[in-house]
Amino acid sequence: MPSTPPAQPGQSFAEIDTPALVLDLDAFERNLVAMAAFSEARGIRLRPHAKTHKSPEIALRQIAHGAVGQCCQKVSEAEILVAGGVGDVLVTNEIASPAKLDRLAILARTARIGLCVDHPDGVRDAAEAAARHDVVLDVMVEIDVGGRRCGVAPGEAAVRVAEAVARSNTLRFAGLQAYHGAAQHMRSIDERSEAIERAGLAARNTAERLAQAGLECPIISGAGTGTYELETQSGIWNELQCGSYIFMDADYARNRQADGSPFRSFEHALFILAGVMSKPVPDRAILDAGHKSAAVDSGMPVPFQREGAIYTKPSDEHGILTGDPIALPHRGDRVLLIPGHCDPTVNLHDWYVCVRGLHGPDAHVEAVWPVAARGAVT
């Protein structure tokens, strides 16, 4: 059962209860427009990843800006997206459970549904589920382009999996899933460029071998917020799966551009609003946002526009700000924190508190959206 929202539309920013997941609507909308304009100008499809936001509200706004549909990682996420009005969903993951495949096939009665496979057994299982429910599923053959996670080896092994898909009456070969997750957070542009160049060679070689086998490869999909420009420049990928661009987090901000400057293609739009519950000494302020409010797998949250303040040593319900006493807030003050990793941070909250004019004197709550797919992990 969802908790009571920490704010209501029409309230002032000062009335938001803490801790809260705050969305800066102005920055969020600029990020939406920026990525949509990028993909449109270059004639490349955009299929944003909903594992970032877990929200049909956000998904439909991305589609309104030109996205062809959504990606997600879990069948339960796909169910919530389709229930919320999204008509085209690709599950960019392997599904080995017959029960999950049945759920996915049922979704295909009302939406275009795709999934990834990397083994002939996965092809067989998906085909049987589609046959049980009299539907056709789109299938992307996932190749390992360097992430060393899921994915069949590029080249002939991938062709054999694709041929198995093509032989099925209940599956449609939709192309290649060629996502290099590890490359997204390589800090230097040289590291990212080298990784994506290798990934591109693997994807191109596989597509050429598919053509030699008489199989058309309509889509090569992948890319993320950290590398999307590189995949686009390669001319190999024709669909982008970026997710974090709508929010930007502290970890992506650590990436560097070609001139060594911070990655600034998108703005920070997602924050944890925390309250100062105690300040026992001048150089330590205690916040009401700890592990249950912010994921720290990619580093600690970063206090926004509070140079000299450092978030450290979180426990379940507490976070500690240390540093220059002049930079630290006082008891009763509120602090905006930039999440270290936006995706799992979102999954800790029930609500987005959507604020208009966040950094101005008239900041107010314009909307409250549910994190509808929070906890959707099956």
Dihedral angle over CA of 183, 187, 188, 194, nearest 10: -10
Mean pLDDT of 204-218: 98
pLDDT tens digits along 345-363: 999 999 999 999 999 999 9
DSSP string, 185-231: G-SSHHHHHHHHHHHHHHHHHHHHHHHHTT----EEEE--TTTHHHH
Residue 1: is its pLDDT beyond 80? no
pLDDT tens digits along 218-269: 999 999 999 999 999 999 999 999 999 999 999 999 999 888 888 889 999 9
Q: What angle do CA 330, 334, 340 make, to 5 degrees?
A: 115
Residue 141: is its pLDDT beyond 90? yes
- Its pTM stands at 0.96
Residue 44: is its pLDDT beyond 80? yes
Mean pLDDT of 298-311: 96
Q: How far is CA 326 from CA 262, 284, 304, 329, in A?
A: 26, 11, 15, 8
- What's the pLDDT at 239? 98
Closest Cα to residue 204, out of 176, 240, 166? 176
- What's the pLDDT at 158? 98
Mean pLDDT of 1-20: 94
- What's the pLDDT at 258? 85
Closest Cα to residue 30, out of 240, 338, 245? 245
What the block records as the tokens of 202 is: 């693997």
Q: How far is CA 184 from CA 3, 245, 255, 262, 266, in A?
A: 34, 12, 9, 14, 15
